[in-house]
Amino acid sequence: MRLRRYGHLSLPPFGRKPDPLSKDLSAKTSKKIARLDLNANFGIPYIPILKQTQSMGWFKRLKDGIQTATKYKKETPDGLWYKCKSCDHLQTTKELAANLHKCVSCDYHTRLSSAQYFEILFDEGHQELFSDIESTDIMDFVDLKPYTERLEAAKAKTSLKDAMAVAQGQVNGKSLVVAAMDFVFIGGSMGSVVGEKIARSIKYCIKERIPLMIISKSGGARMMESAFSLMQMAKTSALLSRMAEHKVPYFSFLTDPTTGGVSASYAMLGDINFSEPGALIGFAGPRVIKETIKRDLPEGFQTSEFLLEHGFLDFIVNRSDLKERVSKMIGLFGF
């Protein structure tokens, strides 16, 4: 009877049609398995609980009417698990956070907020600058809903005032001003506020002689501000050249995604342009380019690795080494 435990190998189980695969096993093999089983038992204890004449489910309720009162039911809190977008590895958000918000299996860099970058970069404590500037609806712009409503909704959802936050602090004891974008605020779009915050940061850095680092993470210009958002490209680029004249370094850190008007202005104008691994960096989307040039795009097109190979970036840095590399760069420029 014990042979039946290995029925899937040698003999068809009771009450079922013979498995076509098991036919291939010769009688000799079956006997061998039987002999092995009787003598050795493969080290597995035999538990005679299965009545194979009955069809078996995975679970069988032993008693009827077992119920759990609602107060004893445990809810799984939202956001407890994170499934990696790159390798599908399931991990707790705690594990992810402990690994600087990179996948513990494949090192995929998830998107961070400005506050999280400040946390990674700065030593104890930092001071936020120009936090009082807010967007207004200059053009009475209405798409699916009025721009004013869109702004209010974004502010309520993110507790941010716009898509950029600026802070000054110490990186391994060296002063640095960091202007970091937040993708969650209307796709990290560059409007008047982003432009103005960069402009004020540049003027502040020139005056105080502190290096500037801009962390880009943007879908491009903010269409609800139309030409006013496009003007920010010229405004920031002009001021950055003034910063270069004053010999104050500017580090441009491109993160996933850096596209549109941002990549066409300040993001590509750094004294050093560097990026996180696997970030999407480009101007127009791949579909638009493909339709325009009528050619297939090369593999890995618009990733930071591709851009590094083609000379657009100076290096790619893993988030674990970010602080160390930034502090070394500040030192290299003699600040």
Q: Which residues bind Zn ion (CB under 5 A)?
A: 84, 86-87, 89, 103, 105-106, 108
DSSP letter string, 14-79: TTSPPPGGGGGS-HHHHHHHHHHHHHHGGGPPP-TT--TTS---S---SSTT----GGGPPPPPTT
Cis peptide bond N-terminal to 20, omega within 30: no
C-alpha 245/C-alpha 258 separation (Å) is 26
CB 154 within 8 A of CB 188: no
Smallest gap from residue 112 Cβ to Zn ion (A): 16
CB 203 within 8 A of CB 210: no
Smallest gap from residue 99 Cβ to Zn ion (A): 10
Residue 278 or 285: the one with the smaller Cβ distance to Zn ion is: 278
Residue 13 or 278: the one with the smaller Cβ distance to Zn ion is: 278
Smallest gap from residue 278 Cβ to Zn ion (A): 10
Bridge partners for 331 per DSSP: none
CA proximity to 273, closest of 308, 222, 244: 308
Residue 19 or 107: the one with the smaller Cβ distance to Zn ion is: 107
Smallest gap from residue 145 Cβ to Zn ion (A): 36
C-alpha 335/C-alpha 319 separation (Å) is 23
Residue 31 or 89: the one with the smaller Cβ distance to Zn ion is: 89
Smallest gap from residue 109 Cβ to Zn ion (A): 10
Smallest gap from residue 27 Cβ to Zn ion (A): 49
Residue 112 or 212: the one with the smaller Cβ distance to Zn ion is: 112
Residues 6+ apart with CB under 8 A from 194: 162, 163, 164, 181, 222, 232
Residue 87 or 244: the one with the smaller Cβ distance to Zn ion is: 87
